[in-house]
Copies of this chain bind each other. A is one copy, B any other.
Amino acid sequence: MRILVINGPNLNLLGKREPEKYGTLSLWDIENQLKKKFESVKFEFYQSNVEGEIVNFLQKAMDGMTDGIILNAGGYTHTSVAIRDAVAALKVPVIEVHLTNPHAREEFRHMSLMTGVCKGVIAGFGVLSYELAVRALTEKSA
C-alpha cells in the first residue's frame, strides 16, 4: 500500500516551533517512525507552504500514484477552496489530520473547508494523529 502524507504551511517547523506544545519530533522524524512502524506501507512525504503547490501535488495523486492520502493542511484548512476542490476531484480516500484540536483554539479555526470532502478527521493526538490515520487507511474494523 502506498500512502501520501501531505503537510501544509509551517508544519516544516515541527520540532522547532513551540516544542512544549507540538513535541520535539520533526516531520522527518515522523516519516521515519511511520516507516518503521508500518513496514508494509510505502510512504511519500510532502510539505509545502504554498497553497497552489499543495494543489499541484494532490493532482498528481489522480494518476494512480497512491492508495490513500493523509492531509494536514495547516492554516489552509480554514481558507482554501482550491485545496478542497483538488481533494474533491480525487478518487482515493483522504484523511484530515491535526496535531492539536482546532476547536480548542481561535474561532476562525473552528471551520474546516476540508472536512466536507474528506473521508474522516482525526485531531488532537499530536504525532499519534498520523499513526491513527495510517490505520484508518490500512485497517478494516475487525
Point out residues on A near B: beta carbons under 8 Å: 8-10, 12-13, 16-18, 25, 33-34, 36-37, 48-53, 55-56, 59, 62, 74-86, 89, 101, 103-104, 106, 108-109, 112-113, 115-116, 118-132, 135-136, 139-142
Compute how far the CA of A16 lies from the CA of B61 in the bound complex, rounded to whole angstroms.
13
Copies in the complex: 12
Which of B16, B25, B103, B106 contacts A112, CB < 8 Å? B103
Q: Is the CB of B86 within 8 A of A82?
A: no
Which of B17, B86, B112, B141 contacts A128, CB < 8 Å? B141
Q: Is the CB of B59 within 8 A of A81?
A: no
Compute how far the CA of A126 lies from the CA of B109 in the bound complex, rounded to whole angstroms.
25
Chain A residues touching B, majority SS: helix
Q: Is the CB of B52 within 8 A of A9?
A: yes
Compute how far the CA of A56 lies from the CA of B120 in the bound complex, rounded to whole angstroms.
29
Q: Is the CB of B55 within 8 A of A53?
A: no
Give chain B residues whose Cβ lies under 8 Å from the Cβ of A113: 108
Compute how far the CA of A136 lies from the CA of B53 in the bound complex, rounded to whole angstroms.
31
Which of B53, B62, B115, B130 contacts A13, CB < 8 Å? B62
Give chain B residues whose Cβ lies under 8 Å from the Cβ of A8: 82
Give chain B residues whose Cβ lies under 8 Å from the Cβ of A112: 103
